[in-house]
């Protein structure tokens, strides 16, 4: 979508290397580069998906083998930068286990003293790196500029690369044509008379789906939670079992894959959007909710604070994992729905984002 918007900007010519595989062949890339005759190479990279640059076992070698052949400045769009310190995470978890008294003797079932854990580990442990760090360090010698979507990711990325190589380009918010009123949409979906609370996106544990089911215990009986998206079958089954165990199975709907038209209907029907994420680096679903002009309740995470600062009328925060506070916010919005307008959303449109991206590319052109 962004490349199409860039192509509409004066002074920009966009050429796209299309390949059937996750990784282009070297000869394909070299021929593509020759046809450009100049400009900037833009790569989209993710260390968290097999669809871009192949499976985890070969992803780093796949992308670096192509980057080594780049003769033009390289801009890399990075999505989902967590800045994970594996060593700190492992030792922190071990300390929590030790302090909880879970170290026990197997013969007498009596608690024994937890082993001392060094605050400054040495030896091979200090060489542990996250896959993310290995990925970034491998591509960094070939990258002229990184483009990420928010200041939180910038701080994380600067653990591994020079701050002068990082630019922030906020995630665009597309213009969305929603024709149905909430009542019309609810009628189409068999939700007439219901309060609709929706969690959008691919269904994975870190997005707080279990918490969304727990939330129903705090909401009125006419409230229904919609999981608008699909997920791995095993995890979806776990959620279905959890809802049944809590007696709310009839108040949870998992939609599966939605077409754009179907998605718009669910967006229109929604009274309150929720994102009870446990961790987040960047979020396309937040942008979707903003495009639909729906009130959004999230946990108080660093990224969500930035959204709250930019869109105070649209985004509401609750302390992380405080379901009472989260539910109180959802209930307050349902009781008195806010009248939401543009609230500055237009400045993040796809067209304005393309202009901002052109500004980054122009800077690199001048530095040649």
Contact between 119 and 40 under an 8 Å Cβ cutoff? The reply is: no
**pLDDT (tens digit per residue) in 191-226:** 999 999 999 999 999 899 999 999 999 999 999 999
C-alpha to C-alpha distance for 106 and 101, rounded to whole angstroms: 14
**pLDDT (tens digit per residue) in 37-71:** 788 898 887 655 566 777 777 888 888 988 999 88
Q: The tokens of 222 are what?
A: 């006419």
Percent of the chain residues past pLDDT 90, beyond the cut: 47
- The domains located in the chain, with CATH, are 2-83+130-172+349-367 (3.40.50.2000), 182-347 (3.40.50.2000)
Q: The tokens of 133 are what?
A: 């760090």
Residues 6+ apart with CB under 8 A from 160: 83, 133, 136, 137, 140
pTM of the model as a whole: 0.76
C-alpha to C-alpha distance for 211 and 217, rounded to whole angstroms: 10
Is residue 128 predicted with pLDDT exceeding 80?
A: no
């Amino acid at each position: 979508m962004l490349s199409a918007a860039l192509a509409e900007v004066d002074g920009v010519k966009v050429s796209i290397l299309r390949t059937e595989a996750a990784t282009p062949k070297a000869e394909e890339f070299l021929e593509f580069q020759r046809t450009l005759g100049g400009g900037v190479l833009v790569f989209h990279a993710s260390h968290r998906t097999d669809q871009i640059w192949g499976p985890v076992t070969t992803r780093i070698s796949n992308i670096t083998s192509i980057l080594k052949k780049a003769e033009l400045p390289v801009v890399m769009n990075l999505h989902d930068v967590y800045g994970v310190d594996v060593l700190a995470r492992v030792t922190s978890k071990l300390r929590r286990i030790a302090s909880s008294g879970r170290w026990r003797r197997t013969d007498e079932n009596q608690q024994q003293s937890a082993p001392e854990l060094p605050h400054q580990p040495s030896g091979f442990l200090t060489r542990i790196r996250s896959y993310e760090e290995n990925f970034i360090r491998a591509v960094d010698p070939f990258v002229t500029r990184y483009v990420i979507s928010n200041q939180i990711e910038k701080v994380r990325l600067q653990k591994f690369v020079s701050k002068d190589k990082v630019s922030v380009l906020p995630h665009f918010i597309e213009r969305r044509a929603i024709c149905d009123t909430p009542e019309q949409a609810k009628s189409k979906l068999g939700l007439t008379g219901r309060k609709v609370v929706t969690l959008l996106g691919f269904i994975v544990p870190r997005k707080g789906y279990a918490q969304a089911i727990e939330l129903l215990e705090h909401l009125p009986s006419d409230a229904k939670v919609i999981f608008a998206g699909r997920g791995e079958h095993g995890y979806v089954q776990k959620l279905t079992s959890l809802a049944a165990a809590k007696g709310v199975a009839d108040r949870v709907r998992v939609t599966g894959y939605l077409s754009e038209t179907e998605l718009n209907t669910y967006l229109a029907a929604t009274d309150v959007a929720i994102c009870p994420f446990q961790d987040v680096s960047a979020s396309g679903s937040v942008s979707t909710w903003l495009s639909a002009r729906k009130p959004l309740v999230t946990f108080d995470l660093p990224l969500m604070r930035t959204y709250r600062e930019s869109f105070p009328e649209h985004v509401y925060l609750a302390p992380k994992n405080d379901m009472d506070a989260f539910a109180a916010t959802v209930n307050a919005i349902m009781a008195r729905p806010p009248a939401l307008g543009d609230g500055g959303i237009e400045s993040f449109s796809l067209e304005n984002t393309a202009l901002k991206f052109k500004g980054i590319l122009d800077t690199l052109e001048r530095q040649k």
